[in-house]
Amino acid sequence: MTALRAIISVLALVAGVAGLLIPQPEVFAFSSSAALVAFVVGCGAVAADALPLRRVPLACSVATLPLAVLLFRPFSVAPIAFAILALQVVAYGAARRAGPAVAAAVRA
Amino acid sequence: MAAPADPARLVRRLRIALVGVAMLLGLTLVLVLGVLFYWNAYLLGDRGEDPFTRGPYVVGLSETTASVRLLGPDPARVALTAVAPDGTEVEASPTGDFTGLAPGTRYLWTAAVDGIGQASGSFRTAPDDPDAEVVFGVIADYGSGSEHQYAVGRGLDAIDPAFVLTAGDNSYLLALPQLLDRNIFRPLRGVMGEAQLVVGLGDHDTFATDGRFLVEAVESPGDGLRYTYDYGPVRVVVLGVDEDPATIAFAKAELAKPWDGPRFAVLHTPLQPGDALNGVLKGKVDAVFSGHLHRCERRVVDGVLVIVAGCGGQGPGDEAFTLESGDAAFSTLDYGFVRVTASRTGSAIETIDESGRVRDRVEVPPR
């Protein structure tokens, strides 16, 4: 589900930039909103990566959830947000590599 | 139902549905956790437990001193401070005694435990002006822990008394140490944080224990049965449970002492016509406060004004045994207390019920 990963990536990017540019606690408005949506969309990404099973993307999606919870706090916003972004990049690359095999499995 | 033409498309749709359900689940989880967080942080927020198991309560007030007692925290953790209207601050001794206070002044006190103010109240030191007016409350037959007693306690607190006089039966059925908090200190906590409870003992208090646990707790003088209490121009002679030779002797001795201001007596069992004590009290006291009969009544017995304040909270067990006295000018079974406004120019004695209504009032001219 590239669309879900793209949404999470954009949210993480916005939160990360906000974390760098906006002081505490004003940054909480951005980080908490991004965290809320990232958590909900991340739940969808976990389901998408579980069926059919794609190990690396699934691990990245699962790891996104606790990081999204941490993003609720107005501390260390930028590192957490960029960690989430990095997870999405890793998951996207792994999903692309596994793409043909998964498609064949679905068709079978 | 026809089979789908493209199984891959069906699988894709099912995946989208699964993703939607997963996101809905995540949203629900966030909402539930949000509600739980709000509930815990703002609705069930920990305001801290009351560190005091008893009090703080006032046990003594004079023109220049006050004593406040409490149970619960280690005394070393408690700081008692009183502040006068002009900002003068007085620290209590480790035992809770204030000294060097100004007469006739209301002090705000705070009991801080580990630096946090955990209880506050105020007391008024006795006036040194002989013409000062003093307001005090009277209750009897109250120590039951009932909702009526709590109501009476709130009413007493509201009249802002200098002290509260009790005419016996402070704790039912007995004045055992395990019952004192339930029957006295909790229902009267508000008023006892502001005014001394001047305790007269009743038959329930003295049965089996001689009232010693209560006497120790409120720090009544001597054995707590018979003593004299002064507050500014007001003197109260506490005579005990009922009339006997010791009571008469004590009354004669105390009432022989000159006293220019209002003077009252407390005897748990109400006077009856022909009692030997009547002649001792007549003309020497402005009124006698009693209990025992679980009513509030006003009578004149052989020339002595008798105010029965037995409606303090225990209530009548059986109305057949709680009959109105034949010579009563006023009598009610309704719960309440007595407010006395006393000065050298005369006193007003009012019976106020638990709803706050003045049910009876009598003006007492100076002796």
In chain B, what are the domains?
54-124 (2.60.40.10), 134-364 (3.60.21.10)
Do the chains contact at B23 and A41, CB–CB below 8 Å? yes
Packing angle, helices A2-21 and A77-107, rounded to 10: 170
Residue B334's nearest CA partner among B350, B315, B318 is B315
Per-residue pLDDT at B5 exceeds 90: no
Numbered residues of chain B with Cβ closer than 8 Å to any chain A Cβ:
7-8, 11, 15, 18-23, 25-27, 29-30
Percent of chain A whose pLDDT exceeds 90? 70
Order the strands of the B78-83 sheet from edge to edge.
B89-91, B78-83, B106-113, B116-124
Compute the radius of gyration of chain A from its Cα atoms: 15
Show the CA angle centred on residue B266, arms to residues B71 and B327, nearest 5°.
135
Q: Mutate which of B19, B27, B32 to test chain A, going by most A C-beta atoms within 10 A?
A: B19
Angstroms from A23 CA to nearest CA on chain B: 25
* Percentage helix, strand, coil for chain A under 3-state DSSP, each rounded to 5: 85, 0, 15
pLDDT at B10: 87
In this structure, the number of other CB atoms found within 10 A of the CB of residue B233 comes to 22
Residue B49: pLDDT band (50, 70, 90) is confident
Per-residue pLDDT reduced to its tens digit, B353-365 = 999 999 999 999 9
Residues from chain B that touch A45, judged by Cβ atoms under 8 A, are 19
pTM confidence score = 0.75
Angstroms from B52 CA to nearest CA on chain A: 37
Do the chains contact at B22 and A106, CB–CB below 8 Å? no
Residues from chain A that touch B23, judged by Cβ atoms under 8 A, are 40-41, 43-44, 47
Show the CA angle centred on residue B276, arms to residues B274 and B277, nearest 5°.
110
Pick from A1, A40, A107: which is nearest to B26 by CB? A40
pLDDT at A108: 38
Do the chains contact at A43 and B23, CB–CB below 8 Å? yes
Per-residue pLDDT reduced to its tens digit, B13-22 = 898 999 999 9
pLDDT at A107: 46
Task: Report the run of H or E that residue A87 belongs to, with start and end.
Answer: helix A77-107
Mean pLDDT within B58-77: 95
Contact A1, A44 (CB under 8 A): yes
Measure the CA–CA gap between A35 and A28, rounded to whole angstroms. Answer: 10
Residue B228's nearest CA partner among B257, B202, B205 is B257
Residue B287's nearest CA partner among B305, B262, B275, B301 is B305
Measure the CA–CA gap between B228 and B338, rounded to whole angstroms. Answer: 20
Measure the CA–CA gap between B323 and B332, rounded to whole angstroms. Answer: 10
- What is this model's ipTM? 0.85
Contact B70, B132 (CB under 8 A): no
pLDDT at B87: 96
Contact B315, B139 (CB under 8 A): no
